[in-house]
Amino acid sequence: MNGYVRVDWRASLSLTGRVLLYLAVPLSIPLVTAVIYGEGWIPFLVTIGVTTLAGFALSQLDDDHDLGAREGFLMVAATWLAVALVGTIPYLLADHGTASTLSWPNVPNALFESMSGFTTTGATVMGQIGVEHHSHALLLWRQLTQWLGGMGIVVLAVAILPELSVGGAQLMDAEAPGPGIEKLTPRIAETARVLWIAYFAFTVLEIFLLYGLQLTGLAQEMTLFNAISHGLTTLPTGGFSPEAYSIQAFSAAVQWVIIPFMVVAGTNFALFWGLVRGEPLSLLEDEEFRFYTGVMATLTAVLTVVLFVGPSLPGTTGLAGIEESLRHGLFQVVSIVTTTGYASFDFNNWTTTAQYLLLFGMFLGGSAGSTGGAIKMVRWLVIAKSIKRELFTTVHPEAVSPVRLGGRALDESAVRGIHTFTLLYIALFFLGVVVLMLDAGRVGMELQVLDGLSAIAATIGNVGPGFGVVGPMESYLPFPWTSKLWMVFLMWIGRLEIFPVLVLLTRAYWRS
C-alpha cells in the first residue's frame, strides 16, 4: 500500500476476522444436523476449519480496534463479503453423488446461493429443491444463512464483542436498514442484544406455532424440520424454503400463521422495545408503522379484487373463493412488500395486472430498523411529504414548512439524504436491468421485459423471486455466470443500502 491511504484498513479487516472466527458457532449446527441424519458432515467441518483459519489470520492484522466512520464502512462491507464467501463452501462440497441436477462444483452458483442467503434475498439457483435432492444439513444451512443475515451479522457482533462498544454505533448505522439508528439503551451492545433477543423470541414462537399446527393435524407437511426451517427464514424476511413449492406446499392454516410473522419482520424492531417497556401504544403511535400497514392493506384490497374477478385463481367463487383470494392476495402482498419472497401460490400464472402490482410492491420494502430490504417505508413517507411541501410552497412561496415525521421536524439534510438514496436506488435498478439485458443478449438468452425488471428488483431489493424465468417456482439457474455475479453484487449493495459499499469505490474514501 502507498502512503496516501488514509483508512486504517487493518483495523477494519481484523474485526472482520473476529466475526469469521465466531461464524464457526452457527456452522456447527448443520454439522450436528448432518450427524443426526447420517449425512456427509465433512463439508461443514472443512468450512469451520477455513473460517477459523481465515478469521484468525485476519484478526492478527491489528489488535487496536479504534474504528472511525471510514473504517466502519469498510468493516461492514468486508464482513458481508467475507461471510458470503465462507458460506459458499458447503454448497461446493456438499451433495456429491446425490440426485442433484446442479453441477455443483460451480463457484458463481454457490456464491449466488450464499449471498442470496445472507442478504435475506431468497433468490435461488437450485434447480430442484427438497430433501430428496439435498442433504437436510445443507438445506438447514441455507435457511440459517438467512437467519444470521436478517437482524445483521454486524449487529450480532456488536451484541457479543465487547471491543465494539464504542465503534458499534457506526457499524450498526452502516448495516442497519433505514436512515440512522436508534439507541434504545445507554449501551450500544445492549441495544444490539435487545434487537437480537426480540428477533430470536419471534423466531422461536413461530417455530412453535408452525409445529403446533402439525400436532393438531392442521398441517400434514409441517414436520419439525420444516417448522424450524421456515421459522428461520420468515423473521429475516428471507424466503428460502426447503420445499420446492415454497409455502404452496402447506395448508391454508400455515399460510395464515406465517402472514403475521412476515408483518412483524417488516416492522421496526425498536418498536417492540416500547411494548416491553409497557408502552403498548408505541406501535400505533409510530407514523411509519401506520403507513406501512396502511399501504399493505390498500394493496391487499386491490389485489384481492383483481384475483377474485380475474382468471388468476381458477374456481374462485362464493365464500371459499373470497377467503382464497384474500388469503393469497394478503400473503403475496405482505411477502413481497416486506421482501420476504415466499409464495403461497405460483403467481407466474396470475394476470399481468396482478404481477405489476407485485412489481410495484418490490420497491416499497419494510420499515426502517426491520429485517426487510428495498427502499423502506419511512423513505417513501418522507418523499410523499416533501412532494406535498413542494406543492404547498408553490402556492405560498414564503411559507417555511419543515417535513414532519411523527410530529418531529426533520433536518433538511436528512430529507435530502432520503431523496438522494431513493434516486440512487432507482438509478442503480435501471443500470442493473440494462447490464442484465446486455449480458443475457450476449449468450442469446431470451429474457422478457417483466422478467428482467423483476429479476433486478428482486435481487437489489432482497426480495427473491420475480416473474417468468425467475418466478417463485423457478430459479436463477439459466442466467450466465456473469449475470449471476452481477446480481451477487446487487444483493450485497442492496442489503447494505448502497452507501457503505459505494463509498468504498470512491477515490476520496481512500485518500484524505
* Selected range binding another protein among 162-170, 291-299, 435-443, 493-501, rule: CB under 8 A: 162-170
Return d(Cα 475, Cα 122) in angstroms, integer: 10
Return d(Cα 286, Cα 268) in angstroms, integer: 10
Return d(Cα 353, Cα 361) in angstroms, integer: 13
* Selected range binding another protein among 51-59, 160-168, 294-302, 468-476, rule: CB under 8 A: 160-168
Is 179 among the residues that bind another protein (CB under 8 A)? Answer: no
Count residues binding another protein (CB under 8 A): 15
- Least distance in Å: CB of 503 to another protein? 16
Whether 334 and 260 have beta carbons less than 8 Å apart is answered as no
SS3 (DSSP) at 95: coil
Is 192 among the residues that bind another protein (CB under 8 A)? Answer: no
Is 279 among the residues that bind another protein (CB under 8 A)? Answer: no
Options 390, 411, 412, 446; binder of another protein; rule CB under 8 A: 411
Torsion sign over Cα 190, 280, 211, 329: negative
Options 52, 100, 165, 422; binder of another protein; rule CB under 8 A: 165
* Selected range binding another protein among 184-192, 225-233, 353-361, 385-393, rule: CB under 8 A: 184-192
The DSSP result for 216-282, as a single string, is TTS-TT--HHHHHHHHHHHTTT----SSTTGGGGS-HHHHHHHHHHHHHHTS-THHHHHHHTT-TTH
Return d(Cα 278, Cα 280) in angstroms, integer: 6
DSSP 47: H
* Sequence-distant (≥ 6) Cβ neighbours of residue 408 within 8 angstroms: none
**Nearer to another protein (CB atom), residue 64 or residue 446:** 64
Residue entry with cell 447490464: 435
Is 403 among the residues that bind another protein (CB under 8 A)? Answer: no
Is 157 among the residues that bind another protein (CB under 8 A)? Answer: no
**Nearer to another protein (CB atom), residue 168 or residue 239:** 168
* Sequence-distant (≥ 6) Cβ neighbours of residue 174 within 8 angstroms: 72, 73, 75, 76, 77, 154, 496, 499, 500
At 26, the amino acid letter reads: P
- Least distance in Å: CB of 186 to another protein? 4
* Selected range binding another protein among 183-191, 285-293, 315-323, 397-405, rule: CB under 8 A: 183-191
**Nearer to another protein (CB atom), residue 168 or residue 266:** 168
* Selected range binding another protein among 10-18, 84-92, 168-176, 427-435, rule: CB under 8 A: 168-176
* Selected range binding another protein among 164-172, 233-241, 334-342, 499-507, rule: CB under 8 A: 164-172
Phi-psi category of residue 237: left, alpha or beta, with phi > 0 → left and psi -120 to 50 → alpha: left
Options 127, 130, 173, 310; binder of another protein; rule CB under 8 A: 173
**Nearer to another protein (CB atom), residue 171 or residue 382:** 171
Options 3, 38, 97, 186; binder of another protein; rule CB under 8 A: 186
SS3 (DSSP) at 400: coil
Options 183, 290, 389, 419; binder of another protein; rule CB under 8 A: 183
SS3 (DSSP) at 408: strand
Options 69, 305, 309, 434; binder of another protein; rule CB under 8 A: 69
Options 11, 19, 139, 188; binder of another protein; rule CB under 8 A: 188
Residues at the contact surface with another protein, assessed by CB under 8 A: 69, 165-166, 168-170, 173, 181, 183, 185-189, 411
